[in-house]
A and B are shown apart, each in its own frame.
Chain A
Amino acid sequence: ILNVEQSPQSLHVQEGDSTNFTCSFPSSNFYALHWYRWETAKSPEALFVMTLNGDEKKKGRISATLNTKEGYSYLYIKGSQPEDSATYLCAFASGSARQLTFGSGTQLTVLP
């Protein structure tokens, strides 16, 4: 059983604050790490697919880093806006299974 953990479980920030959260995954047999954003009543939306140690990806105010040797990824949001409120999910794919194993998510609420 692959263990993918996300922290914190939930987070409240003020509009304009920058924030970050963590995804931890097994450091052995790494293949890929995905980040998704899931807003209430909508479909999960893909943010990034990361495959190389040291990868950094950016999409607007959201960026992510990857450390496969120690088994973690950080997601950063700069200048949070209320529309960033969502659950952020990471998902790990191992070299053998290739199926995505999801973490439980970080629920972000940005207060106006």
Chain B
Amino acid sequence: GAGVSQTPSNKVTEKGKYVELRCDPISGHTALYWYRQSLGQGPEFLIYFQGTGAADDSGLPNDRFFAVRPEGSVSTLKIQRTERGDSAVYLCASSLHQPTDTQYFGPGTRLTVL
């Protein structure tokens, strides 16, 4: 079956602009996660959805970052007033029910803020 997909695969934007990153999880997975991976580091947790609601958003670095999952399937990560430090690979993952289930990752979106 289809895995986790993310669009776009690459996004280049200018400092101060708004961006949206999309994640399509595996069908039937209730849990969805966003991570950010900077060069030389492991993925850093941002937010976890259980169904439509954000169960844990403690990893969002500041209020410029926001994510939604209105119908409990597709999720969008939104970044306002982008900064050069936001440049990273943004990974999405989904799992059947909870964070400690096997998480299946998408290929990521590489965001570059000029």
Contacts and interface: CB of A to CB of B under 8 A. Distances in A.
Interface string A71-103: 000000000000000000101010001111111
Contacts of A32: 100
Interface of B is mostly: loop
Nearest to A101: B45
Interface residues of A, number: 26
Nearest to A107: B40
A98 to B, nearest CB: 5
Given A46-B103, A102-B44, 20 more contacts: A4-B42, A31-B100, A32-B100, A36-B105, A43-B106, A44-B43, A46-B102, A49-B101, A51-B100, A89-B42, A89-B43, A91-B43, A93-B100, A98-B100, A99-B99, A100-B33, A100-B103, A101-B45, A102-B42, A104-B42
The 10 closest A-B pairs by CB, nearest first: A102-B42, A44-B105, A32-B100, A43-B105, A46-B102, A98-B99, A43-B107, A102-B43, A104-B42, A99-B45
